[in-house]
Structure 1
Amino acid sequence: MTKYVLNIIREETSNNGLSKPKSDINQTLTSMNYKLIDIPLLIGKKQKLVGSLLSVRKVVAQLKREDTLVIQYPTYMGALFDIKLLNVLHTKHIESVALIHDIDALRFQQPFGKGLHYEIFLLNKVNLIISPNSKMTTFLKKNGLKSKCRELKVFDYLTKVDVSNKNIFYSRNVYFTGNLNKSKFIFRLRNSENVHYQLYGPLDQHQNKVAAMYNGSLSSDSLLSAVDNGFGLIWDGDSEQISNLNNSSFGNYLLYNNPYKLSFYLAAGIPVIIWAKAAEAEFVLSNHLGYTINSIDDINNLISTITPNSYQELIQNVHRIQLKLIHGDYTRNVFDH
C-alpha cells in the first residue's frame, strides 16, 4: 500500500498566498513518505473538456488497489475531472482523502448547479475529509456531508527563515497582509495615536488612499523577517463590520475557513486580532494567542489597554504554536491520526 498526493502544477502566482498553502502540504506529506503525482492544471472550458479524461488516466495509471491518494480541494481542474477521478478511485478500491482549503460556494456566488449542493455531492465521494476546523465540519455535516471527517485546526507555515530566534517587541502596529485587492475595508482604516496600520500585499488600485499605511508587496520569506512587532489583523470583506449572515462573501467566509493570514502571523511570531465570530477565534482564545473584536472600530480601544507585560505573555504562547507551524506538526498530526 503506497500513499500519494496529487500535485496539480500551476504557474506561480504573485505574493497573494494562493500557492504556498498547497505546496506546504505537499512538502510535509513527502517528508512522511507520500509520493507526488504531478499533473498540469487544466485551464479554460475547452482544455477541461478535452484533457480531463486523459489527466484522470495519467493519475490512476500510477495507483493500485488499496493505495491512498490525497487530493487538495478544490482542484480547479473542473467538474468532469473531479467526478471521473473520484468515481474511478472508488471503483478501483483506492482510498481517497480530500484536504479542504476552500469551499467556494461559501465565498463566491456560484453558477447554477455549482453551489454548495454540488460541493457536498463531490465530497461525499471521498473516503476521508480533512476539514479546516470543527465549525466547517459542523456546517458541511448539517448540509448533507456523510464522509468521515478529521480537523486540521490550523494551516502550517513552512519556512527556511530562522523565525524561532526573532526578537519580537511590543508596539502599537497592526499588520494586515495578503491580497489587499479583495479587502476593501482597508480604505476605511485610520491611523491614530493608539494604532498604526501596516499593509503589505498586492494592491492594484487606489494605493494613494492608504499611502500612509501601505508598504508594498513582499515575498513570504521577506515579510516573515520584516514583521517583528505589534499585532496581525484577521479581517475580510468590504467594511469595518462583518454581517453575520450566511450569504457568500469574503467577510462571512471567516465563519468557516482557516485564514492563511493566521498561520503567517503566528509563524512570524506576533499575536493576532481576529473577528470574534470567526471559526478560528476559538483556536486563538484557547491557545491565548491574541484578542477578538466585533468591529474594526474596537481596535483603537483594545490596543490602548494592552501593556508591554501582557504582550510578552502572548509572545510566549505564540512562540509555542510557531514551532509547531514551521515544522508542519498540524499536518503531520492529522495524517498520523
Structure 2
Amino acid sequence: MANYVVTSGEPGKMGGSKAKEDIINFLARDNYISFMINPYQTNKFSRIWYTHFRLKKFFSNDEINNVILQHPIPSPYIVDNFVKRLEKKEKTKLIIWIHDVQSLQRNGDGKKQEWEIKLFNKADVLIVHNKRMQTWLREKKVLTPMIVLGIFDYDNPVPIQENVPYEKTICFAGALFKSTFLSKLKMKHQLYTFGPDMPKVHSSNIIYSGQFTPEELPSHLTQNFGLIWDGPEIQTCAGTFGHYQLFNNPHKASLYISTGIPVIIWSKAALADFVLENKIGVVVDSLEELDDLLDNLSEEDYLVLKDNVVKLAEKLRSGYFTKNVIKQLAEI
C-alpha cells in the first residue's frame, strides 16, 4: 500500500511554500510519495481538462493507504473533484494537514467558511496547529478526529546560532507590507527587519536588512530575539492578520527557533502557551513593553531561554513533530 502527500506549488520564492516543502521532505523519510497539483490553470476549460483528465493518473493506483492533503490548495473546484474521487476508494484514508484556515484569515468570509467546514468534515483525520484551532473548528461543527501538531518543523540548512553576544537586539522576518505596526513602533533597542515591502516610514532604530530566500535567511538572523507580531497596532495584535494569531502557529516562529533564537510573542497568541511551556521566549501584551523587557532581562535569564531553544531547534530540524503526527495516525 502506498502513502501520498498531495500539495500545490505556490508562486514566489519568499517562504510561501517552505512549510509545505519541508513536510514533503520529512514525510519522504516515512516513504510518503509526493504528488503535486497545479491549481493555476489559465481558464475554465483548462481547469476542467486538468481536473478530469490529467489528475486521473493519480487514481490509477488501487493500492493507496493514506493521502495527506496539504490545505489550502487554491482551487475549490479541483479540491472538491479530487476528494470526490478519493471517497470512492474505500480503503484509502484522507488526512488534511491544515496550514491555513482561509475563512479565519478572511475575517469571517461566510462562503469560504462553509466550504472549508464541509471539506474538513469529509476528511478521516485533520492535523491542526494547536488546541485553540481545534476548539474553534469544534465550535464550527467539524466532527473529524484531530491531531494537534504543536509547532511546524523547519528544515534549516544553516548551523544553529549558539554563541552570539547578548546585545538585546531583535529581528523580525516576514511579508512587511502587512506589518504596518513598524511605522508606529519607537524603541531604543535595535530591531532588524527582513522581507519585502518594508514601510518607508519607521524610526531610526528599526533597521531594514534585506530580502532573502528561506534557505539564505537564517544566516542573516544574528539577533538575540525573534519577534512574532502582526497587524497595524503596537498595543495589541489587531486587524485580520493580528486576529489570526489567536488561532494559528506562525511559520516564522519555526524559522526563529530552528535558527536558535528565542522569541517574543503576543501574550494572547495561540502559540504563546507553547513558548511559555517550553521556556523558549517571553510574551508581551504590547510592543511598548519591549524596551523595559530587554532592560530587565539579565544575561543569565537569557541564556536559559537560549539553551532551551537550541535543544528544540534540533527537534525541528529532524522533523520531530512531523514524525509524531505519523505515529498518531497509525493509532487512529
TM-score scaled by length of structure 2: 0.92
Indicate the SS of the match to 2:181. Answer: helix
Whole-angstrom distance in 1 between the partners of 2:108 and 2:49: 23
Q: Does 1:230 align with 2:230?
A: no
Q: Give the partner amino acid of 2:288.
A: D
**1:162-217 CA distances to partner (integer Å, 9 max, x unpaired)?**
22x6423312111110111111111112231xx2111111116x435466511111
Q: Does 1:92 align with 2:89?
A: yes
Unaligned runs of 5+ in 1: none
Q: Does 1:102 align with 2:100?
A: yes
Partner of 1:34: 32
Q: Give the partner amino acid of 1:8.
A: S
Whole-angstrom distance in 1 between the partners of 2:42 and 2:292: 48
Whole-angstrom distance in 1 between the partners of 2:237 and 2:172: 20
Q: In structure 2, do the counterparts of structure 1 residues 103 and 30 end up closer, same or farther at CA, with 3 Å as the change threshold?
A: same
Correspondence for 1:218 among 196, 212, 216: 212
Whole-angstrom distance in 2 between the partners of 1:330 and 1:184: 32
Deviation at 1:22, TM superposition (A): 0.4
Whole-angstrom distance in 1 between the partners of 2:59 and 2:201: 51
Unaligned runs of 5+ in 2: none
Q: In structure 2, do the counterparts of structure 1 residues 279 and 55 end up closer, same or farther at CA, with 3 Å as the change threshold?
A: farther
Indicate the SS of the match to 1:321. Answer: helix
Tell me if the contact between 1:200 and 1:217 (Cα under 8 Å) persists in the aligned partners.
yes
Correspondence for 1:129 among 109, 123, 126: 126
Whole-angstrom distance in 2 between the partners of 1:20 and 1:145: 27
Whole-angstrom distance in 2 between the partners of 1:132 and 1:300: 31
Tell me if the contact between 1:202 and 1:217 (Cα under 8 Å) persists in the aligned partners.
yes
Deviates more, 1:278-287 or 1:229-238: 229-238
Alignment of 1:46-61 (within 5 A): 46=44, 47-61=46-60
Partner of 1:185: 181
Deviation at 1:81, TM superposition (A): 1.4
Whole-angstrom distance in 1 between the partners of 2:9 and 2:315: 27
Partner of 2:288: 297
Q: In structure 2, do the counterparts of structure 1 residues 148 and 237 end up closer, same or farther at CA, with 3 Å as the change threshold?
A: same
Whole-angstrom distance in 1 between the partners of 2:295 and 2:43: 53
Whole-angstrom distance in 1 between the partners of 2:139 and 2:235: 27
Whole-angstrom distance in 2 between the partners of 1:44 and 1:209: 40
What count of residue pairs does the alignment treat as equivalent? 325
Deviation at 1:299, TM superposition (A): 1.2
Indicate the SS of the match to 1:251. Answer: helix
Tell me if the contact between 1:56 and 1:81 (Cα under 8 Å) persists in the aligned partners.
no
**1:93-139 CA distances to partner (integer Å, 9 max, x unpaired)?**
2211110000011112476622x222111110111101111110111
Tell me if the contact between 1:166 and 1:228 (Cα under 8 Å) persists in the aligned partners.
no
Correspondence for 1:283 among 260, 271, 274: 274
Correspondence for 1:173 among 158, 169, 173: 169
Note the aligned Cα RMSD (angstroms).
Answer: 2.0
Deviation at 1:66, TM superposition (A): 5.0
Deviation at 1:65, TM superposition (A): 4.8
Whole-angstrom distance in 2 between the partners of 1:56 and 1:222: 34
Partner of 1:7: 7
Tell me if the contact between 1:228 and 1:268 (Cα under 8 Å) persists in the aligned partners.
no
Indicate the SS of the match to 2:167. Answer: strand
Whole-angstrom distance in 1 between the partners of 2:227 and 2:81: 41
Q: Does 1:21 align with 2:19?
A: yes
Q: In structure 2, do the counterparts of structure 1 residues 264 and 277 end up closer, same or farther at CA, with 3 Å as the change threshold?
A: same
Identity of aligned residues (%): 31
Tell me if the contact between 2:231 and 2:237 (Cα under 8 Å) persists in the aligned partners.
no
Whole-angstrom distance in 1 between the partners of 2:82 and 2:129: 23
Partner of 2:138: 141
Deviates more, 1:121-130 or 1:78-87: 78-87
Q: In structure 2, do the counterparts of structure 1 residues 298 and 43 end up closer, same or farther at CA, with 3 Å as the change threshold?
A: farther
Indicate the SS of the match to 2:240. Answer: coil
